[in-house]
Amino acid sequence: MKRILVGIKRVVDYNVRIRVKPDGSGVVTDGVKMSINPFDEIALEEALRIKERGGAEEVVVVTVGPADCQQQLRTALAMGADRALHVQADGGIEPLVTARVMLKLVEREQPLLVILGKQAIDDDNGQTGQLLAALWNRPQATYASKVELHDGAARVTREVDAGLETLDVDLPAVITTDLRLNEPRYVKLPDIMKAKKKPLDTLTLSALGVEPRVQLKAVSWSPPAQRQKGVLVKDAAELVAALKQKGLL
């Protein structure tokens, strides 16, 4: 079966103003809206579009995290995913552990393609897709802004510093998605009801033979320094004078 595996992550919604805990031990999440990582939502939308074009027969969505992650998996099912896999794990999960989990699921599901967001908006590591491709020993195309499947290969247009780059990679492969690839669909109430009947399997790290190694430790958290108020100038001459006064020119 032509199958696409999509990785998603539960994060604080991008519209929420992040607040650091008073003791600096992390960010406030109690009572805060949680959502699918925006880049992962784009990855799922692309997988669904590939399926709708006949390029795949099944879309399976995967997440690694605590029990609360099932809410985001149900949202993914409501968007159109066929099945969901929840690898339950508490605490912070580092990219290498997630990549090893994905590798085990790749071996089990034998997907044609694995699509992930280019990074998560909480830690901004941007490593899981690349690590998975290395562990799997398969091609990767990161920061994709366009994806086309043809004759057992994928043509991916990716965003680089100098502009756009087009790659042809053999399948199976790993693709990570950038912001301009697509606009995810809205979830409708009938789809939410249908999603309740779709299969959602729960696994554990130990069942997959993955050790939850912790190699990095966050010592403290602090908010960014407050920016100074801007100065409104009337013309270029006044701007130059203001910059000279601040010693910037």
Tens of pLDDT along the chain (249 residues) come to: 799 999 999 999 988 888 888 888 888 888 889 999 999 999 999 999 999 999 999 999 999 999 999 999 999 999 999 999 999 988 778 999 999 999 999 999 999 999 999 999 988 889 999 999 999 999 999 999 999 998 889 999 998 888 899 999 999 999 999 999 999 999 989 989 989 899 999 999 999 999 888 888 888 888 888 887 887 888 998 888 888 888 887
**DSSP assignment string, 61-105:** EEEEE-GGGHHHHHHHHHHT-SEEEEEE--S---HHHHHHHHHHH
pLDDT at 29: 84
Q: Which residues pair with 146 in a beta bridge?
A: 157
pLDDT at 161: 87
pLDDT at 230: 80
pLDDT at 115: 97
pLDDT at 118: 95
User: Beta-carbon neighbour count of residue 30 at 10 Å?
Assistant: 5
Nearest-10 crossing angle of helices 70-79, 38-52: 30
- What are the structural domains of the chain? 3-245 (3.40.50.620)
- The rounded distance, in Å, linking the Cα atoms of 204 and 82 is 21
- The rounded distance, in Å, linking the Cα atoms of 25 and 221 is 6
Q: Which of 47, 176, 171 is nearest to 110 (CA)?
A: 171
pLDDT at 78: 95
